[in-house]
Structure 1
Amino acid sequence: MGRLIVQGQARLVGSIKVSGSKNSALPVFAAALLCDEKVILQNVPDLMDVRTMMEILVSAGYRVDFENGTATVNPATTPNTVIPYELVRKMRASFNVLGPLAAKYGTASVSLPGGCSIGVRPVDYHLEGLQKLGFSIQVERGIVTAHLESKIDHVIISLPFPSVGATEHLMTTAAILDGTHVIIENAAMEPEIEDLADFLNKIGCRVFGAGTRRIEIFGTKRTTGCSHRIIPDRIEAGTYIIAIAATRGDAVVENLNISHLTALFDVLKTSGVIFSQVRQDCVRVTMSESPRPVKIQVTPYPGFPTDLQPQIIAFLSKAQGTSTVIETVFKSRFQHVDELRRFGAKIEVTDGTAIIHGVEKLSGVQVNATDLRAAAALVIAGLMAEGITVINEVDQIFRGYENIVEKLSKLSAVIEYQE
């Protein structure tokens, strides 16, 4: 695992361009398994997780070509519906190929997923939903096998929690169950869900209501090819916006959808950050003082995103008072707190709530990245701190941030990656 060397007391200035959304590209690639014709995907970020998903499609017999942010997916001539553990173990999103493969070819086997360690994220909602769609499910030695056994005319699936992964998985699977009418209630509302539905409709599926708590799908048999542009990555955009504010910087963030980050903008405005819209997909971020303390509750979209929780805690560690962050999505997602304390941050965690007592300064130290978003939070803390910060085991940051070293360097940060 490599490490990042970060020079502290940075002030981020200039402009930075946001890449395509990882969390949108992954389910769209899984949905490309349904296609009977060539699919062209644009604005695809070149990330470790995206490369892994491409390898999974190749393993399934599909041909994938990727160059300069554009991926071309050609349908399988000899499909393989048994996906190997060594690919699936790398990330959770890989599990979402199970339903589409089984729906298209009648059966599929996929290992139980791996991924970053931010707490237990069971696949129960996925499996229960697939069973309601007419699949039999067998779990043996860590391998999940789904067989399409019966045709269901109409089914309502009510999710106990608006799980993004389960919503995407069930929506994609139902899309080609010809003659089946599916309603998903308490569905996730994230922009990535809407982008996936947009893709599915382009290839000939019929999906309605994406972006609301009730999604309706009318299964279709035939799919076509299409060209589709992945939406900008709102979590990457949010991370860089927080980093600019945390360093009292003045920079422009390009290629983002501002409406996807309303909750973050509201919090940062309350803390003292100044935003000015340069154009529809471009915003200027300015901060000239220590943040004012805020209270945040992390909830499913359109609430404050859990994937920005570690970064906002780093930002608030130098606030002018005490802030509170209540995590309701992954209550154990506080592994980064111990590492932030090494900088001198004063943070208490009790039962899913972080209480952050602002300090005047942070000091550069050696820390370990525990997961993808924690790594981003440690980079922000390193930029804020006095002296040099070394972030070990940092390679997982490349799962979610395309060219992060080059992008931050363009903003005048002094940051270096070492293997």
Structure 2
Amino acid sequence: MDPKALLLRALSTPYEALDPRVIDFAGQSTSVQPVRPFLDQCRARLESAGGAGLCAVLEEWLVPDRRFDTAWDPIFGTVRRLRRDKTTEDLERHAATLGLKLHAEGFIEGEWRLSLGGQHRLLWGTWLLPPAEEVAVRARSNEVSLDLRLGDAIRRVEGRRSGAKWVLDGADPLAVIEDPRFPVAFLPPSLLVGSEYDAIRATVATDVPDTFRAAWSEALTLLSQHAPRFSPWVKRFIRNIILLRNEDGALRSNSYPDLPGQIQMSMSDNPAAIAEMLIHEACHQHFFLANRFGPVHDGSDDTLYWSPVQQRGRHIRYILFAYHAFANVVLYYRACRAAGIEPRDGFYEREEPQLLPQLKELERPLRESPALTPLGRNLFEPLSTRIH
């Protein structure tokens, strides 16, 4: 068995021990590797937009041992996608987003100016900057000054770091939940630029109501006290959330491999449902990371297997993708019930019997297909063993 594939068993379920070497390798493959080709690809265009200083900042990032928890972020996925798809759309905006991310994390100091190629809103940490067509940055480890030009007007934003947090004057704070067990920020509609958001943009919540905040706190308590293996599993990879209004009563969640660390989830006042959505999307994040190490199938099986989740035929990769998430959700149900926890509405007792037949349907091709690689089998088999 490939030793790397065995190491990656830990990405199948939180019941497998995580070797630190997995995260160490992931930190390099996720953070430094995508930036070098991106910089090579866009340097001339950035310099023509006045961004020579920004190029110097990005160069400074290209050293070993960068933190994985910084790099598992949508902007690093975007940089990887731009190179893969050979596209230059909104290149200046993406480069500025990456530069501001590195400054706000306190890694790199610098001064630079960049024309953004259009009107955009950018982030500094958990602060939404005013709309701008050009940005000028003077960043130090604990303070920042930004001049944002829109037309003939220039707005200055200044800020200081206090501990791990930035406080900015002239910018808008994102909605956040600052629970020390798992602090998160919620993205507003104004940041959701791109066709991948077209289907949800109109349903994105513009505030985070107190009922959701209270249910979020109860969900974290549920995980930490009654399903403790899933608590670090959730916190490891989720960075920010797009919160969706729940207008038809159906709970939904989603993630995209090109946007690591970012998830979508429906607003709910049910702590058990919130915990389930977090676990489900954390599973997808672990699956996306596993795919950075190699393919989960060898390409020899083109069969479209029936997916009871999607109600249509799906490739073996997506059968594994679904099984990986829903099997872990069932293990979460069982952990809570073993701890004597059952929501008043019988959430676990109701949901598990509905999922088990679907898992059985998904499991059949995963057992029978010869196409799964050692990596794919090590994502599937530890789960299957525990489910049965």
Scaled by the length of structure 2, what TM-score is found? 0.28
Q: Which has the larger share of helix? A: 2
Higher relative contact order (CA 8 A, sep 6+): 1
